[in-house]
Amino acid sequence: MTTVLVIKANPKPTSASHSLTVLEHFLTSYLQLHTNDTVVVRDLYAEKFPDFDRDLVTAQRALSAGKTFADLPDAQQTRLTQFRQTTQQFIDADKVIIANPLWNLMIPGKLKAWFDTVCVEGQTF
């Protein structure tokens, strides 16, 4: 069985987005042809995907300096857990599909935050 991770990175509803409309049509066709595949959809704007923030950076530095996970404040533990789960979800996926708009020749901030989360030295590169 193949796991397909779908990243939706567009704050618009599907009815107002060409990229999300294409994604929906693609997924419908894909699932008809790949009935045994598991599709996991993450809508970064619907879930209010967090930015790569100070709590996360501080937590990572504290762990590198020798602190344990239990030594970290609750907010940092929460952020680090989210970070690790997102990274692991990416690692576990066999295929990744990203649907996003192109704004001012850039990607949306939530997609950039997702890339920052899944690009982990020693794990994904």
- How much is the average pLDDT of 77-104? 94
Residue 22 lies in a domain: yes
Residue 87 lies in a domain: yes
Residue 85 lies in a domain: yes
Confidence of residue 118 (pLDDT cuts 50, 70, 90): very high
Average pLDDT of the chain? 94
Please tell me the distance from the alpha carbon of residue 111 to that of residue 113, in angstroms, as a whole number. Answer: 5
Per the structure, the complete domain to which residue 19 belongs is given by 3-116
Q: What is the secondary structure of 46-86 as a DSSP string?
A: TTTPPPS-HHHHHHHHHHHTT--GGGS-HHHHHHHHHHHHH
Residue 43 lies in a domain: yes
Confidence of residue 56 (pLDDT cuts 50, 70, 90): confident
Residue 121 lies in a domain: no
82: domain CATH number is 3.40.50.360
Residue 123 lies in a domain: no
Paired tokens of 34: 């790949």
Helices 109-118 and 74-92: angle between axes, nearest 10 degrees: 80
Residue 125 lies in a domain: no
Residue 70 lies in a domain: yes
Please tell me the distance from the alpha carbon of residue 97 to that of residue 23, in angstroms, as a whole number. Answer: 9
Report the domain count for the chain: 1
